[in-house]
Amino acid sequence: MAFQIPRGTQDILPGEVEKWQYVEKIARDICRRYNYREIRTPIFEHTELFLRGVGDTTDIVQKEMYTFEDKAGRSMTLRPEGTAPVVRSFVENKMYGDPNQPIKLYYIGPMFRYERPQAGRFRQFVQFGVEALGSDDPAIDAEVIAMAMELYQSLGLKKLKLVINSLGDIESRKAHRQALIDHFQNRIHELCEDCQVRLEKNPLRILDCKKDRDHELMATAPSILDYLNEESRHYFEKVKAYLTKLGIPFEVDSRLVRGLDYYNHTTFEIMSDAEGFGAITTLCGGGRYNGLVQEIGGPETPGIGFALSIERLLAALDAEGVALPVSRGIDCYIVAVGEKAKEESVPLVHKLRKAGIVADKDYQDRKIKAQLKAADRLSAKFVAILGDDELAKEVINVKEMSTGEQTEVPLHSIVDYLKERLS
């Protein structure tokens, strides 16, 4: 029987995985500079966490979660997103008691959603995200948005568009909620079944419907911006002012509501304007979630964050033709000729590796010509040839592949020689 990879997943092979490592390295470096520390949470959690944290009217909860019963009959779910697990950990480990507030965290790891696979979207995907918990300062909203923009720009993306909106506080949301019900209820039968269910449960979710997004009722729906109270309007103006001070251009879109129930006040998305990127242009999304910590059992704590798919990021790089500066070659390949030289090549390659030099050797008992071809396929910077004559003289012939220059080097000096040339 020939086994195949499950639909909606992918193998990331050598030659491609280096791009992932580079992107993750840049993301970690940006987090370090912004003073965000890594957190790692379980790949599966109790299902109730996502029902309460993400919201039971969302597509994620209704259609996309991988949920199963464990052997004790408890309902578990493979995490579909990163915020709810981070907040659960924040509450469970009483991070709200840490004197250093706000708590700034980031994560990188696989998420799971059962949705139709398409370009850049998988059922298992890797998500990078940040969460800042403990501050309701509009400046930290701008900081979080700036982090996301910096990641994309530092990797070489230029065709980006930042879109922001405000969903307001509880009072503003209530007023807007009633306006949406009044707007949709007489013609709700024209929309899909999901929208009909959402009308009473959470009418804001109707605006996020993928099936009916082109319906005329969507275009004429009441704008949340018209229902912001003074406090919410002031908060949004401060966020926009900070973004302007940071030199980050943005557009305001009153229809941007995001796909999760926990958002309030600032929401944002970063999109790709690259030609040929595809119909779904969103690269990153996030926003403020001031009630989520309480919903999960913690004290009243404001929070804001964002999440992005590494797969989508790499697709955007491809769309703009950006080549990442990843190195796939090795430093030195040892070519051994003769039985004694083969024996001595084992401790020699080990010595190079211990010194921090990326080294390899032949393990196929190939002739010298085949070994040299192997070194070339591995893009070796140097080839060190060791034979019986060299062993007798305690030297080794080192060839620099880019120039063809060949030098006889004392065996005891090979580490120092390679380190000097590689630097």
52 is in an annotated binding site: no
81 is in an annotated binding site: yes
Helix, strand or coil for residue 83?
Answer: helix
The percent of the chain in helix, strand and coil, each rounded to the nearest 5, is 40, 20, 35
34 is in an annotated binding site: no
83 is in an annotated binding site: yes
Task: Please classify residue 384 by burial: count the beta carbons closer than 10 Å to its beta carbon, then call 0-12 exposed, 13-18 middle and 19+ buried.
Answer: buried
Dist CA 151 CA 129 (whole Å): 11
Torsion, Cα 209 107 272 287, to 10 degrees, reads 50
For residue 132, the cross-strand partners are: 104, 304
Dist CA 409 CA 109 (whole Å): 46
- One-letter amino acid at 195 equals C
Record the tokens describing residue 148, joined without a space.
């996301």
Record the tokens describing residue 215, joined without a space.
């319906």
- One-letter amino acid at 260 equals L
127 is in an annotated binding site: yes
Dist CA 53 CA 49 (whole Å): 6
Cα–chain center distance at 312: 9
For residue 102, cis peptide bond before it (omega within 30 degrees of 0): yes
Record the tokens describing residue 91, joined without a space.
């509450």
For 327-382, the DSSP string reads: ----SEEEEEESHHHHHHHHHHHHHHHHTT--EEE--S---HHHHHHHHHHTT-SE
Tokens 């490592």 correspond to what residue?
21
How crowded is residue 220: how many other Cβ atoms within 10 Å of its Cβ? 8
How crowded is residue 252: how many other Cβ atoms within 10 Å of its Cβ? 12
- What single-letter DSSP state applies at residue 118? B
Q: Which has the closest alpha carbon to 268: 180, 146, 386, 350?
A: 146
Q: Are the beta carbons of 334 and 384 closer than 8 angstroms?
A: yes
Record the tokens describing residue 220, joined without a space.
């004429």
How would you classify residue 324: left for phi > 0, otherwise alpha for psi between -120 and 50, otherwise beta? beta
Which parts are annotated binding residues?
81-83, 113, 127, 131, 258, 262-263
Residues comprising the binding site for L-histidine?
A: 81-83, 113, 127, 131, 258, 262-263
